[in-house]
Structure 1
Amino acid sequence: MADVIRLEGICKSYNVGLPTETEVLHGIDLALHEGEFVALMGPSGSGKSTLLNIVGLLDRPTSGTLFINGEDTTELGDAAITTLRGRAIGFVFQYHYLISAFTAHENVVMPMLLDRGHPDAAMERRADELLDWVGLSRWRDHKATNISGGQQQRVAIARALAMDPSLVLADEPTGNLDSVSADAVFELMRRINRDRGTSFLIVTHNLDLAQRCDRIVEVVDGRISGRVIPTLDAR
Structure 2
Amino acid sequence: MADVLALEAIRKSYAVGTPVETEVLHGIDLTVCAGEFVALIGPSGSGKSTLLNIVGLLDSPTSGRLVIDGTDTTRLDDAVRTRLRGHAIGFVFQYHYLISAFTAVENVMMPMLVDRGHADRQMERRADDLLDWVGLSRWRDNRATNMSGGQQQRVAVARALAMDPALVLADEPTGNLDTASAEGVFSLLRRINRERGTTFVVVTHNMALAERCDRIVELVDGRINAERAGRTHEPGAA
TM-score (norm: length of structure 1): 0.98
User: Structure 2, unaligned stretches of length 5 or more?
Assistant: none
Deviation at residue 133 of structure 1 after TM alignment:
0.5
Where do 1:1-235 residues align within 5 Å? 1-226=1-226, 228=228, 230-233=229-232
Does the 8 Å CA contact 1:215/1:234 hold for their aligned counterparts?
no
Identical amino acids, percent of aligned pairs? 75
Q: SS at the partner of 1:165?
A: coil
Deviation at residue 39 of structure 1 after TM alignment:
0.2
Query: How far apart in 2 are the matches of 1:21 and 1:193?
Result: 39
1:135-175 CA-to-partner distances (Å, cap 9, x unmatched) read 00000000001000000000000000000001000000000
> Given the superposition, is the C-alpha separation of residues 62 and 234 from structure 1 closer, same or farther in structure 2, using an over 3 Å criterion?
farther
1:72-122 CA-to-partner distances (Å, cap 9, x unmatched) read 100100000000000000000000000001000000000000001111111
Query: How far apart in 2 are the matches of 1:227 and 1:15?
Result: 30
Query: How far apart in 1 are the matches of 2:145 and 2:201?
Result: 27
Does the 8 Å CA contact 2:12/2:23 hold for their aligned counterparts?
yes
Does the 8 Å CA contact 1:214/1:234 hold for their aligned counterparts?
no
Give the total of aligned pairs. 234
Structure 1 runs, 4 residues or longer, greater than 2 Å off: none
Does the 8 Å CA contact 1:92/1:157 hold for their aligned counterparts?
yes
User: Structure 1, unaligned stretches of length 5 or more?
Assistant: none
Deviation at residue 65 of structure 1 after TM alignment:
0.4
Give the letter for the 1:232 counterpart. Answer: R
Does the 8 Å CA contact 2:3/2:33 hold for their aligned counterparts?
yes
TM-score (norm: length of structure 2): 0.97
**Alignment RMSD (CA, Å):** 1.1
